[in-house]
Amino acid sequence: MRQRGVREILADSQVPAIDGVIVIDSKGFIKAIDNSALDLFGYSLAEIINQPLLLLMSNSQKKAHPSYLKRASNKGKVTVQKLHLKQTIIGKHKTGLAIPLAISVSADTSNDDIRFIGAIQDLRKHEAYLTRLYQDFTTSTAALNQRIEFENILNRYGNELISCSNEAFFSTMEAALHQVSLFLKLDHAYILQLSADASQAQRWAEWRRSPSLMRPFAERFNIPDSATFYNALTQDDLIALSDKDKKQDESLYQLVQQLSPNEFLSTRITPIYSDQKTLAGCIGFAILDPSHQLDHAGLSLLNLATQLLVNAWGRHQLILMAQRSEEKIKAKNKLLANKAALSETLLRSSNLLYLAGRKHFQKNVSEVLLQAALISGHQHAMLYFDRDQTQSLNNFIQQNLAARQLTRDKNPALIRYINKQLTHQDIYQLANLDKVIISKKLYQELKRTDIQGFSAIKLHRGDQCLGFACFYNSLAIINSNEEKLRFLQLTCQNLTSAIQNHAIQFELTQSQQQLLHVNQILSQQALQDTLTGLPNRRAFDHGILQEFDRAMRHDSTLTLLMCDIDHFKLYNDQFGHLQGDVCLQQVARILQSTFNRAGELSTRFGGEEFAIILPSVNKFEAQEQAQRLLERLEASQIEHASNAPLPYVTMSIGIAQFSPSKSFADSKALIDAADQALYQAKNNGRNQLAWAPEAE
């Protein structure tokens, strides 16, 4: 064993590292030795001190030692390269018994007399550890060699399966099954193609250790209790059974035993999925001979082989599908070229669904559905939406897609039939009405609506089913393969996403409109006097500020009328506050009918007081309108209190006007001026108007 290997083994050993220490001088005489070393070699201290180290060496070591010692000492100086020398030697016991040793030598140059210090390990103490290590190494080496050999087989057949022609693929696959089974001592290997629900199987490839004694699978056969078999395959991705598992799942054990032509002691069955993630077949390996049971390493190798064969089979199926598609493309090149142009148009239209406004959305949906129908070999398309979806989505669909929908009152049997078929699948196709068994009611309904064949695609949002799209023909469906069905499914997914997107925008728009309407109502309520219906004091404050600022900027006039009902307290005292409110409402209506031109604003200033803003009128027009108000109020003959000076309700008006020649500092000054004029009108006898003095 190499020196480095011994050192590494001893470093990992749990046995103490040093079994003795010996110190010699540069001439090879022992100058110091510890008790452990004395016990190891069987000498006493007196017998060993100042004796040559050769006393403790075997004959072969005695011959080599002087040269080692000479190289270690060079004219009284230690050779640096030889420090910490480590090696294995054979020592000699006092009785002459050979002792296998590992020794690590270093030099002490702290004084003129060079000394060499040797740390000794008794390799006999490590014999059991080394033996076990060797056995483990031998076992690991054998397993590694087995794995390397097996991987060479897999690499060979993997390369052949990738590079071989379609005609040679089947024989190459069976040869691979043969070699894998022989190497791992398996008895039966096979690949079965399965129907979608695993109820039927077809033998694709098979190898039997003894063709004369073992029965093969039938070419085609039914699988009993296929639901149990399907669930076991698809839930755990592996069926691994043996006699030990019989009690844990006896029904599955008995089912697989019944499925196997020769029964088994243990078996492993792995599912094979199509590119659509649906169950397509399975690959199985079975053991019939008790001496052929696999250990952990064998199972690991079998898993590698299984994965290789499953991937090769799947790749082969994809190649066959691609070749079939290529053949169809060559046979119908002109037709597919036309449909490719339609497909490009369809994709553009599908993208435009997201950008279409509500006005054009239904038209775009109709175009997308019609193009999808033509490309997939159909003539027409209709949508059906389940009413269990959210209210906002229902509202959007009813308002924007009603013209393209199947309805329960016109198509009840068809809707029930398609919903049932799409319960556990996303696509269902009825290619020819006359070649399928359906209810008489459904048959009559399809005949009445001139539907001979159809393809139904589920519309869903996550796990929620929204309904389906039905692409139908008045003749039996032709030219509708898996690729075109996937195209229909993708089209429906894009359509569903677009509908959901527009429904969200629709709901958001409705919410915004409702919020805007509510805000408008609140704004109106906030600026409106609830009793009279006139704008309130807040509206007046806002209006006077705006109009005053506008008049200043444009050098125009702004006239303010402050009005107060004369002796209104007497009215309330006699008729009561409720009738007083009626009186205020009557006066408000007269104000509204008098000042109704654009820009004129009649407001309730507070209590029985009103304010009227008249922008851009001259003094004559303002006085004329104020006088007209007094006359209309008097003409309305609203009965006043019996103790009032006049028999009918009247009011006093104070007028102030801002103009380039008669300016006010701000709107408050204008209000104060009109208010003072109002008091002047009252002092002058009421039921009249008065102008504010000119501002300085």
Residues belonging to the active site: 608
Residue 439 in 3-state DSSP? Answer: coil
End-to-end CA distance of the chain: give it in Å, rounded: 123
> What does the block give as tokens for 220?
């085609």
SS (H, E, C) 579-610: HHHHHHHHHHHHHHHHCCCCCCEEEEEECCEE
Please give the single-letter amino acid code of residue 387. Answer: R
CA atoms within 13 A on the CB side of 313: 25
Which residues make Cβ contacts (< 8 Å) with residue 10, sequence separation at least 6? 17, 102, 121, 126
SS (H, E, C) 332-361: CHHHHHHHHHHHHHHHHHHHHHCCCCHHHH
Q: Which helix (H) or strand (E) holds 107?
A: strand 98-108
> What does the block give as tokens for 609?
């007081």
Residue 296 in 3-state DSSP? Answer: helix
Q: Where are the strands (E) in 535-664, listed by range?
A: 558-565, 601-606, 609-615, 651-658
| Separation between Cα atoms, residue 537 and residue 610, nearest integer Å | 9
Bridge-based pairing of strands 98-108 and 85-92 is antiparallel
Which residues make Cβ contacts (< 8 Å) with residue 673, sequence separation at least 6? 560, 656, 664, 692, 693, 695
* Cβ proximity of 620 and 559 under 8 Å: no
Bridge partners, 565 (sequence order)? 651
CA torsion 44→47→51→53, rounded to 10°?
Answer: -40
CA atoms within 13 A on the CB side of 655: 22
| Separation between Cα atoms, residue 455 and residue 381, nearest integer Å | 9
| Separation between Cα atoms, residue 478 and residue 431, nearest integer Å | 8
| Environment class of 655 (CB within 10 Å of its CB; exposed 0-12, middle 13-18, buried 19+) | buried
Which residues make Cβ contacts (< 8 Å) with residue 46, sequence separation at least 6? none
Go through the chain and tell me how many residues it has. Answer: 696
| Environment class of 425 (CB within 10 Å of its CB; exposed 0-12, middle 13-18, buried 19+) | exposed
